[in-house]
Structure 1
């Protein structure tokens, strides 16, 4: 039952129990109209009309002198919002429509857009008569105004349609590889995971993530994992925010994070230091202190390399082999800049720091056998880095984005 209530006092303005629906199927020839009840789901209101989901109906089809009973398990109807008068109704076979709506029905002046868990997935209907403008398999992603769809029978075609202005764009892969896109802001991130036959040349790496501008389809970045990506369930992400994409795998939870685009300020300073070969003495003094410690610092450094997240994030005071915290390094970099302004300073500190940092990063990857990857741009712009978040079996505590598993 569909109810319309007065907003002032909640009294009932009108009720509608069923809408007469026609069969929306090219193989069905009857013009018969059959009443269909409403489904208890969210409706859309536009153009003075209420658009709602229906239960479907059973039709008797007469072909070649025989009668065939066809059950249409899902439908959609339009009712005048002011009077409750029925405008139109359509019903679909289970092959094309079924299950529940995965997002609220939306509508504008020209189209009604619905998305279902079964059948073809996505439907775009004319607001005038409910005729199908297109029916395509959907991956159930999008925004308030766009739907993201894949086409299993069209060589890996991925399509984004804006149902407000009618604009759309598509991208092909050559194989059925687009799995579960996620929309973050104005960026569409989709996994491209498939075993490509030898005779097929895919347009994107076999195991990769690709980011597109959702408005125009321009490619933002491609992150290629080759065989080193963890064994996940078809690479399908389970959640995302503006900086991180979370993916389940046999090894645990994997986080694909966005870092800043371009070099960090201290990295830029290091490049300048290498060119000018300055600040030599400070590094030499630190080397003498390390030697006086009898090599104990070296052992500590080895122990520290076992902590993957501290070394990667730079949050630990012992992140580098020189024993400096991140704040102390920043202060040192500031001092280096002042030295360069004076024309003073002496040398190779930047080179050694960079070497030490690389050694720590290398040790982390080798010890944990979980290498990091860096792409040309981030989730929304910037560098994309694969980091690893792990949960031990039997624990109920989730691991935070910036925390490591014990």
Structure 2
């Protein structure tokens, strides 16, 4: 039930100290009247420091790489790590696996550490700590994966996700919103419920999001914005008739699902007033101007957050794809979702597509038959991380061959091409694809439960976290159930630009891809989103 008639409980801040050192501009003792503040950065400054991108979880990168041309190749892959949500910071990739949680070198996929005692997902990175959610919120040391602290909520349900921002960690457990100190997990404040105009008390039921100097969540009384340091109410707007479990935010808008349908009301991030309706199958992505989604009879498309300047639809009804908006481009892996069979609607089925975010025109499309593409787990620097049949694959733009020997040169090594293949068989990648040229400047902060990761609900993007359906990201991560042929074949080593990650088993992807390209084996397809 949403209503709770108990007295509003707001715990006093127990230890506001070192945890506030990373708060953005204008931070510590901000007056509620001065919030929301779009100039206040929730931190950290990475492209994808948390599940679903950043602390706003809107899968939006303001100044990301454009990936012109769509000539992508696999730099590395790690078997069995594709279904979970992903965070990337300081040249390291953090993701849950079937066995626990792993930290991978972003350059070549080698394992930096693995903790097999953790059953959690939806990673967020800030400072020297990785935060995850499952039955509890867990903080791990970034250097070695050891546990720094863990909550004792003893929650009856999975925690959908934690949001790390403003020096704190925010999560909803059994209807109570907790603000924890990032350094030690002590309770900064908590709210069991909030009041409304009808004099009732309503508990929280959405995992929080952070932007504009506030924490956003939803109760039975509507969308609410709270001061991150004190929990004081900034504003509360609207009424709802459903029980969404996720909320997304940017400096421009806040969105949550409406009535269990494909409609997502977008409200002004500063005032909470209604501005637009987005459409998406279990989730949408949006930035400062455009919202994007699909999977229903509205088709796959985008529109303006304010006004009607932009509005477009692809002719691919009932097609789903967790989108990422990066600068001027929408990236999404499109798959059939539902609806009657119709070849005309199957354009771009099992394709990674890049669309102009303003008009929906296709910049490029890459088929699963031609490359190891899949649902987008993260984009960081010059790398797109995807789930390809349960494997986490790092895709990068093909590198030039200027460093190869000139065949016209009498002194050129005529065996150069063979040497390259030998290097790959030895686990070495002489191409630039093995290097991470991305700009990994810290720019960012959704599973325990990203609906996209299969952690509480996540899949991906619907990232199903912990197998719980309903989170916006929950449906995409279920691709982990797709099995690939584990048989070893030396031909796999000859896939251009392909280097398997060390530490975990990482071999089946190359063989499977080669078989598909050679027409030996039929595409196994991708599980339908179960978000």
Normalising by structure 2, we get a TM-score of 0.37
Higher CA-based Rg: 1
Greater per-residue helix proportion:
1
Where relative contact order (Cα < 8 A, 6+ residues apart) is larger, the structure is 2
